[in-house]
Chain A
Amino acid sequence: MMLDDTIVAFLHRPLMCILAGSDASGRPAAGRGIGVMVSDDRETLGIILSAWHYSALANAVAQTGKLAATFVSPCDYVTYQFKGRTHLREAGPADLARAETFIADATASLSALGVPRGIIPQWMTTRDARVAMLAVAECYVQTPGPHAGMRADAANGAPTL
């Protein structure tokens, strides 16, 4: 699906990212993302994760190609979840640069909310980074409130292509 302007703008804000995959036995795996890029056609997200940090997640995604990614803006809790098929590729210098910016923005946002700055690096590292190329099939609003759980295209009032 093509992401609308609201969501593309959202993905350029300071965000935190959590991820889930599932392995062949149906056991879900969890982890965090450290960056996101939107493809020119707005149908694919490049989501950066550390295969060293969240190895079970990276293995599950490599095994089944299934991924869910939830992004939240810490300052106002605006949240979207994306789902679809994915494949992993090695991260290049541009991806790592993007990840560093993502981590710096998230750190600033969280520490402004009172999260001790010293513990935030526990959750985000670029070590052994991979990029999950997620072909977005579904997008849902997870912001607490009346639209929570709705498909984003319906909640945002934009036509889906």
Chain B
Amino acid sequence: MTLRLADLSACFDGVIPSIIATAAADGTPNVSYLSHVVRVDDDHVALSNQFFAKTAANIRANPLVTLILVDCFTGEEYLLDVRFVRSLDSGPLFEGIARHLAASSAQIGMANVMKLKSADIFRVEAIGMIPSPLVPTRSETGKPIIGLTALAAAVRSIERQEDMGAVIEQLLQNVRHLLDCRHAQILAPDTTGGSLITIGSLGYDNSGIGSEVASNEGLIGLAVSSGKIAKVSDMSRFRRFGDAIKATDGGDEDRSRNITRPSFDGARSQIAIPLLTNNEVVAVLLTESERPAAFGADEEAALEMLAASAARAMRGAESLAASARQEPAPDHAVATPCATDSDVIRVVHHRFDDSVFVDDAYVVKGIAGAILRQMLEWYRDQRRIDFSNRELRLALAARMPDFKDNLETRLLLLRRRLDEKETSLRLAKTGRGQLRLLVPDLASVEMRHD
């Protein structure tokens, strides 16, 4: 049987390092490991040109090169006779390889240090299988097969949702059931700064709702900046570095106003998928697995379809809420089951970042903080507990010129943070584009602005 590069897909995830053998003009051989081999087409592979100087010099002196690639599931090895063709330092192929490398480097905080300068293209002249001492058996990294029927059902289940929270939940549940991934999170860009905020998560010890990540950081940052999928197939090689980075994270959120990011220590594979509408990133789905190389071509395609349907549904939920007619507010307030120790709820609002504390507990900041502040002021001054998206949008647009049309996402974040912090205040949806601030026994609110 003639082997093709397409048959070697399990060799290109970088889980088991490849081997590159070169020879100088005088025939002196050289051998080293190689972390990135990229399949270009049926006849070419690309290598990130981050070789030791000797390898690079040998390739220029003698274009004949031999590679050993390893199937990360079975351990089977393939011998490739390749010939150097040319170097690339720009164009879509170069950018794709650069993004692939940056995804790995970003996990160890070395995205800039390991920036790709060029990539070398090789024509594949022969592929052979190295004899196997074993009957190949797939390792325990075997992945579930994604059926088209199940995928179609998953897409439909997302697109049926009209509420932002339901869209997020449905997307996470489908990732869980369709791909058998127990850890995932969804982040939305914060329109006021260079960060993304966690608006939904699945499977972590702490939900991390409201936690932030810089929009130029790690896989998530790559997905945002490129608008394309970014993934790492084996994080274990970077584990020590990751642990060191994580040790500086977190802390007391009531003091720092920084919520600890949800993290899965056992992750071997990570993939970040941008949710796009009209080429704009409206959110990023980060999915993690304890399996190495968990996200191959099929998983990528499935996640891309789920993400696309979620992006459409999110945009739809936003539009529906925005276009909802403002209904008359009920003429009476409804007491809620939330308990409070006193008749007064103490709220502190910090102007510089719109962070809001309720009874000394940090709740939220940014646009979501501004929303909470607005509702609390209306409640304090007008004793109103029912509000519409429309009036909130108008009020915030006047205050925040760069406020964009993604109020539903912020309301979802705010609602979840209030629930999670178990504050005396809660937020409930009462209809399309309508919401109610739940205040126990209609207690007084004492607001202080710093």
CB-nearest residue of chain B relative to A76? B240
The reply to whether the CB of B53 lies closer than 8 angstroms to some CB of chain A is yes
- A53-B133, A122-B74 as given contacts; A64 in contact with B52, CB under 8 Å: no
Cα A4 to Cα B226 in complex, Å, equals 49
Residues of chain A with a CB closer than 8 A to B132's CB? 122
B-contacting residues of A (Cβ < 8 Å)? 18-22, 25-32, 52-54, 56, 64, 66-70, 72, 81, 83, 113-116, 118-125, 127, 140, 142, 148-149
We find that the number of chain B residues with CB closer than 8 angstroms to chain A is 43
Tell me which of B19, B20, B139 contacts A119 (CB under 8 A).
B139
Cα A114 to Cα B268 in complex, Å, equals 9
Instruction: Give chain B interface residues in 1-42, CB to chain A under 8 Å.
Output: 16, 19-23, 27-33
B31 contacts A19, CB within 8 Å? yes
Tell me how many residue pairs across A and B have CB atoms closer than 8 Å.
120
- A20-B21, A119-B75, A122-B74 as given contacts; A28 in contact with B139, CB under 8 Å: no
The reply to whether the CB of B394 lies closer than 8 angstroms to some CB of chain A is no
- Chain A's nearest CB lies how many Å from the CB of B137? 6
Cα A69 to Cα B31 in complex, Å, equals 7
The reply to whether the CB of B141 lies closer than 8 angstroms to some CB of chain A is yes
A-contacting residues of B (Cβ < 8 Å)? 16, 19-23, 27-33, 52-54, 62, 64-68, 70, 73-77, 79, 81, 130-134, 136-137, 139-141, 236, 268, 292
Cα A1 to Cα B16 in complex, Å, equals 33
- Chain B's nearest CB lies how many Å from the CB of A80? 11
30 A-B pairs in the complex with CB atoms less than 8 angstroms apart: A18-B19, A18-B33, A20-B30, A22-B28, A22-B29, A25-B64, A28-B30, A30-B79, A53-B131, A68-B28, A72-B33, A81-B31, A114-B236, A115-B16, A118-B140, A119-B74, A119-B139, A120-B75, A121-B134, A122-B74, A122-B77, A122-B132, A122-B133, A122-B136, A123-B70, A123-B75, A127-B133, A140-B54, A149-B53, A149-B54
Residues of chain B with a CB closer than 8 A to A31's CB? 68
Cα A126 to Cα B30 in complex, Å, equals 24
Tell me which of B28, B133, B141 contacts A116 (CB under 8 A).
B141
Cα A119 to Cα B142 in complex, Å, equals 13
Tell me which of B21, B62, B134, B139 contacts A30 (CB under 8 A).
B21
B141 contacts A66, CB within 8 Å? no
- Chain A's nearest CB lies how many Å from the CB of B108? 11
